[in-house]
Structure 1
Amino acid sequence: MRNLIMALTASTALAFPAMAEDVRIAVGSFNLNNLPFPVAQGLGLYEKHGLEVRVDNFASGGSKTLQALVAGSTDVAVGFYDHTIQMQAQNKEVVAFVQLARNSGLVLAGRPDATFDPANPETIKGAKIGITAPGSSSDFFVRYYLQRHGLSDADVSLIGVGSGGTAVAALQEAKIDLLVNYDPAATIITERGIGKILIDARSDEGAIAIYGGIYPTSVLYSRQDFIDENPETIQKVTDATVEALRWMHDHTAEEIVDVLPQEFVTGDRDTYVKAVQNAMAIFSPDGMIDPETINTPLEVLKTFNENVANAEIDLSRTYTDAFVENVAPAEVTQ
């Protein structure tokens, strides 16, 4: 399969424009919510659509990616939709334009001897909880859970541990008691017997139980001024990414892993394939942002983010489907 993909990519290379357009894209982590982005890279789709992509990886979490975007040191961010709401509360226009993951994908895991019992929320008191980074969606997950059960962040210790292998190691080495993270970390933890999943929001049912609704997560977003000044660039990024999403839904987890840049594969390949399979339900089939679901992140943020709670948030200004709607129906990798 890998040889076939390489052959297909090589054949399309002849059609690539001689002068590709530079675009800087920052990604917050290697968690699987962001998977469509490296799939597009591995298939050569950004090059196919006339782009030369420079990737900045902030493995410590999405909040660093957001900071880079706002500071102007990157053009496009691969991050979580809820950051667009936070930025509007700070009078900064950050807009999502392609949805990658339509649901949370988060889990809360503990070691085999974990004393936290979700049926008795107070047992979380005193726990050292690993999150990707302060201000990240894993941080929001914990704070919202605590708030819903009459607890606060003062009842636990929140520790940034990144994602993927570093997050798993923090749990395995007992640097933390609990871990809030995504696949592939979630699957690695269970496959290796490092721990167990205590709260699972990868399914729609799990997300509804935790958040009260579907919680859209990974998107491509940019500053409104960059979008206004560079609509053709944004359209090319969208064309390539939507093509990757469509390709993913027509291929198996093993075929998806075959095309990934090697640095995105965490742990052994077989476990990573299982992680991709476990995460398939969260990926958007078409890149469209559903206006029926984006109120869930707003309600979560309002419970503990004073800036958001006190702001008049206009969700229609946090996203656009215009670029996805312009993607040609025929733009599908065979």
Structure 2
Amino acid sequence: MHKLMLALAATVAFAGSALADPVRISVGSYNLNNLPFPVAQGLGLYEKEGLEVTVENFASGGSKTLQALVAGSTDIAVGFYDHTIQMQSQRKAVVAFVQLARNSGLVLARGKNSTFDPARPETIKGARVGITSPGSSSDFFVRYYLQRNGLSGDDVSLIGVGSGSAAVAALEQGKVDLLVNYDPAATFIEAKGVGKILIDGRSDDGAKAIYGGIYPTSVLYATQSFIEDNPETIQKVTNATVKALEWMNSHSAEEIVDKLPKEFIAGDRDTYIKAVENAKAIFSKDGHINEQDIKTPLAVLKSFNEKVAAAEIDLTKTYTNEFVGKVPNVAAN
């Protein structure tokens, strides 16, 4: 009888696995803008929706994730909204369907030997500026800052250094003079005495000073064809992710860190908790994409990206709130 029960249990487990909806999700980095995704993992929300998620972390910025999505080697990307605009200018339909981070979260910090002074923008000339990767939103941040101040990308050296501890190490070791990055790197820089934050886009006021408006960043996006062919999968992913956002909004930074997969946590735990606390203001509460805020990334890209500037961009085709609008109103446990 005992053997029969074990056999039945194994059969049920196998059947459950066979019935799970497989989906490949890639993430550009484990910076805190993307935090709701691993929180949803840690809470087991994707499994509760009947999903079998395969995750790939490129750990080098969103541009690599975008390439994987367009190439068809992943189904859904955790990346930045501005990539959907880039893709439309290249006649590729990539659509954001859940917003994770409603604001930039980027900071610009200088190392101990840097002479850059934001009050004198020209002092950035000749600087080695660390970004997550070429073509990433940190890259856009620098180029927009230069353009707004009558400078160009040729006035600095842009160097891809990744995010988190690797990015902080690049600044600490003098491999770069300035660093444009997100939390947890932003908090680590000051906690370790590695450098000083000069421009801070984590607050709404900071983002408005940098970009002229709120700058939505991390979203879940997929190709239009995948969304059309797999609406049930997209809805399940949306349900789980929005529930994670709701859960984050009602829990402390320490409780959030407790739910994270171990590989997501960088540095010492106390400093990481502080980084999460510093970043909480940027997270969406409900996953909705704001049609006014997305005009800011378009304006930024048009200022220096020739393909975007030359294209007729239809923002209504870069996002949808259809799936967020169908999420059951049930909070995560």
Give a deviation string over 1:11-30, Cα, whole Å, max 9, x none.
Answer: xxx9x955211000000001
Matched residue, 1:10: none
Matched residue, 1:308: 308
Matched residue, 2:138: 138
d(CA) in 1 for partners of 2:111, 2:294: 33
Pair 1:165 & 2:165 matched = yes
Matched residue, 1:287: 287
- Secondary structure of residue in 1 paired with 2:117: coil
Pair 1:227 & 2:230 matched = no
- Secondary structure of residue in 2 paired with 1:118: coil
Q: Report 1:318-333 matches (<5 A).
A: 318-330=318-330, 332-333=331-332
The alignment's TM-score, normalised by the length of structure 1, stands at: 0.94
| Structure 2 contact 208–214 (Cα < 8 Å) conserved | yes
d(CA) in 2 for partners of 1:136, 1:119: 26
d(CA) in 1 for partners of 2:175, 2:116: 16
| Structure 2 contact 31–182 (Cα < 8 Å) conserved | yes
Matched residue, 2:9: none
Matched residue, 1:23: 23
d(CA) in 2 for partners of 1:206, 1:155: 24
Runs of 4+ in 1 over 6 A off after TM superposition: none
The alignment's TM-score, normalised by the length of structure 2, stands at: 0.95
**1:114 Cα deviation from its structure 2 partner:** 2.4
d(CA) in 2 for partners of 1:111, 1:265: 24
Give a deviation string over 1:237-257, Cα, whole Å, max 9, x none.
Answer: 000000000000010000000
**1:111 Cα deviation from its structure 2 partner:** 1.4
d(CA) in 2 for partners of 1:281, 1:317: 27
Change (3 A) 1:94 1:307: same
d(CA) in 2 for partners of 1:87, 1:285: 27
- Secondary structure of residue in 2 paired with 1:263: helix
Matched residue, 1:255: 255
d(CA) in 2 for partners of 1:17, 1:164: 37
Pair 1:90 & 2:90 matched = yes
* AA partner of residue 186 (structure 2): A
Matched residue, 2:184: 184
d(CA) in 2 for partners of 1:289, 1:266: 29
* AA partner of residue 186 (structure 1): A
d(CA) in 1 for partners of 2:48, 2:16: 8
- Secondary structure of residue in 2 paired with 1:115: coil
d(CA) in 1 for partners of 2:114, 2:131: 17
* AA partner of residue 296 (structure 2): T
**1:229 Cα deviation from its structure 2 partner:** 0.2
| Structure 2 contact 113–177 (Cα < 8 Å) conserved | no
Matched residue, 1:70: 70
Instruction: Note the residue ranges of structure 1 that are not aligned, 5 or more in a row.
Output: 1-13
Pair 1:33 & 2:36 matched = no
d(CA) in 1 for partners of 2:205, 2:116: 21
d(CA) in 2 for partners of 1:333, 1:144: 39
d(CA) in 2 for partners of 1:122, 1:58: 34
- Secondary structure of residue in 1 paired with 2:115: coil
Matched residue, 2:10: none
d(CA) in 1 for partners of 2:301, 2:85: 8
* Percent of aligned positions that are identical: 74
* AA partner of residue 172 (structure 2): Q
Matched residue, 2:100: 100
- Secondary structure of residue in 1 paired with 2:174: coil
d(CA) in 1 for partners of 2:231, 2:109: 41
**1:333 Cα deviation from its structure 2 partner:** 1.2
Instruction: Note the residue ranges of structure 2 that are not aligned, 5 or more in a row.
Output: 1-12
* AA partner of residue 246 (structure 1): E
Matched residue, 1:270: 270
Aligned Cα root-mean-square deviation (Å): 1.1
d(CA) in 1 for partners of 2:191, 2:43: 29
* AA partner of residue 72 (structure 1): G
* AA partner of residue 188 (structure 2): I
d(CA) in 1 for partners of 2:306, 2:160: 22
